[in-house]
A = this chain, B = another copy of it.
Amino acid sequence: MTIGDEVAALKRERTLAAATELFYEKGYTNTTLDDVAERLGVTKPFIYKNFGSKHMLLAEICASGVQAAQAEIDAAIALGKGPGETLSVFVPRYVEAIITTRKAIAINIREEKNLLPADAVTLARLRHKFVASVEDVLRRGRDNGEIEVTDPRISAFAIVGAVSWLTFWYNPEGPLAATEVAERMSAVVLNLLETVQPDTLQIDA
């Protein structure tokens, strides 16, 4: 990466962050690209050059939550451990990813009608792929006896829901820090799966 590339990446990142704040606070329709440019101290042509249009900016923001979640499950799977351990690694990281991207997720839900149809289809595919990834780990865990789960699909939706709902109640000014919420929510969610401990397996065998 050249310095020029790094600067471009930094500018994109800052633009996304500023637009996320504005869309979250004022709504997509009430926010102009001039508002975003003003908050960043850049020009509107800069934003057009980097994102093409307000619609493309929205599509990118809406995708960021599910992309962060997918990155966490991919990373956990890439460790090459069994399904039980994969989940134990994934869930706390997933909770933190949702806390970090919660404003983008809220925008995704609120502004779905403002997405271009093609962007809405792409997003639905990303969400579907993510739930399928979680479901697949659960299914493998059920098949090799590591995870006690009757319905991997509904369980995957339950996990995604329990964690994603943080978007609507997590308060960074509340009594619990993000890492504490991540720890406690992970304990609750992993409890849902009744991961069978290896030594329990030995006793049963």
Contacts and interface: CB of A to CB of B under 8 A. Distances in A.
Interface of A: 27, 29, 109-110, 112-113, 131, 150-151, 154-155, 157-166, 168-169, 181, 184-185, 187-189, 191-192, 194
A169 B113 CA distance: 16
A158 B110 contact: no
A155 B166 CA distance: 12
- Please name the 8 residue pairs, one residue from A and one from B, whose CB atoms are nearest each other, closest first: A161-B165, A158-B162, A192-B192, A161-B162, A162-B162, A154-B184, A158-B188, A110-B110
Nearest to A189: B158
Contacts of A159: 162
21 contacts: A29-B29, A109-B110, A109-B168, A110-B110, A150-B187, A151-B184, A151-B188, A154-B184, A157-B166, A157-B185, A158-B162, A158-B189, A158-B192, A159-B162, A160-B165, A161-B162, A161-B163, A162-B162, A164-B165, A189-B192, A191-B194
Contacts of A162: 157-159, 161-162, 165
Given A158-B162, A161-B166, A188-B192, 17 more contacts: A27-B113, A109-B110, A109-B168, A110-B112, A150-B184, A150-B187, A151-B184, A151-B188, A154-B188, A157-B162, A158-B192, A161-B161, A162-B162, A164-B165, A165-B165, A191-B194, A192-B192
B187 A151 contact: yes
Nearest to A181: B154
A76 B155 CA distance: 24
B188 A155 contact: yes
Contacts of A184: 150-151, 154
A188 B187 CA distance: 15
A189 B194 CA distance: 12
